[in-house]
Amino acid sequence: MAFEVPPLPYDYNALEPHIDEETMRLHHDKHHQAYVDKANEALKGTPLEGKPVEEVLANLSQLPEDKQAAVRNNAGGHHNHTLFWESMSPNGGGEPTGELAEAINQAFGSFEAFKEQFEANGVAQFGSGWTWLVLENGQLKATKTPNQDSPILQGQIPLLGNDVWEHAYYLTYRNRRPDYLKAWWNVVNWDKVAERYAAAKAAQS
Ligand code: MN
């Protein structure tokens, strides 16, 4: 089946004041839709057409060379944004609990230290890209990627990602990316991240 933009799991204005309604409408309905349309177009007639997006991203080399960049960017954009919408909730914020909290403390020293590194990676990403919490060989890591590159390209499983393209924050935060990165913690859905962590651990063990 061709890729589709999943409906937002909350209203467009539900993440205000941290993310404004107009940003959510443009970001979800226009930007994400464009990645989906272009990914579907690029995959047409290739051996990966109709495959799950994770499988597509893990097997880019199976595509004709002249399709690889378009699929990397647009299937990457589709996967990144699908994960992004689900990573947020109007009831979000606070701190992770349980095994995920323990793993974050073990990997980064503390939740505060993790947040600092995640924000710093977002600030340091020159131009457009993403800041991530990923699982790699059973180990939590904070990373960043340019453009719409998915951590899946590196064999990592993304658990949480924040979009630092200007389209994600410019209407409210203008040039103040660090302020956006700080405010974003108020909407993070830690239950969802914990669910991904449990699934990722099972997949990598
Ligand atoms: Mn985006």
Taking the chain, what is the end-to-end CA distance rounded to the nearest angstrom?
Answer: 30
- The pLDDT value recorded for residue 204 is 81
Q: How far is the CA of 28 from the centre of ligand 1 (A)?
A: 8
CA-CA distance, 193 to 205, in Å (whole number)?
18
Q: How far is the CA of 165 from the centre of ligand 1 (A)?
A: 6
Q: What are phi and psi of 130, to 5 degrees?
A: -140, 150
Q: How far is the CA of 78 from the centre of ligand 1 (A)?
A: 9
The residue to which tokens 């947040």 are assigned:
115
Q: How far is the CA of 31 from the centre of ligand 1 (A)?
A: 6
How does pLDDT run across 87-130, given as a tens digit for each residue? Answer: 999 999 999 999 999 999 999 999 999 999 999 999 999 999 99
How does pLDDT run across 42-68, given as a tens digit for each residue? Answer: 999 999 999 999 999 999 999 999 999
Q: How far is the CA of 95 from the centre of ligand 1 (A)?
A: 24
Q: How far is the CA of 160 from the centre of ligand 1 (A)?
A: 14
Q: How far is the CA of 181 from the centre of ligand 1 (A)?
A: 14
pTM of the predicted model as reported, rounded to 2 decimal places: 0.97
Specify the long-range contacts of residues 169-176, CB closer than 8 Å, at least 24 apart. 169/19, 169/23, 170/23, 171/20, 171/22, 171/23, 172/19, 172/20, 172/23
Q: What is the DSSP letter of 109?
A: S
Q: What are phi and psi of 74, to 5 degrees?
A: -90, -40
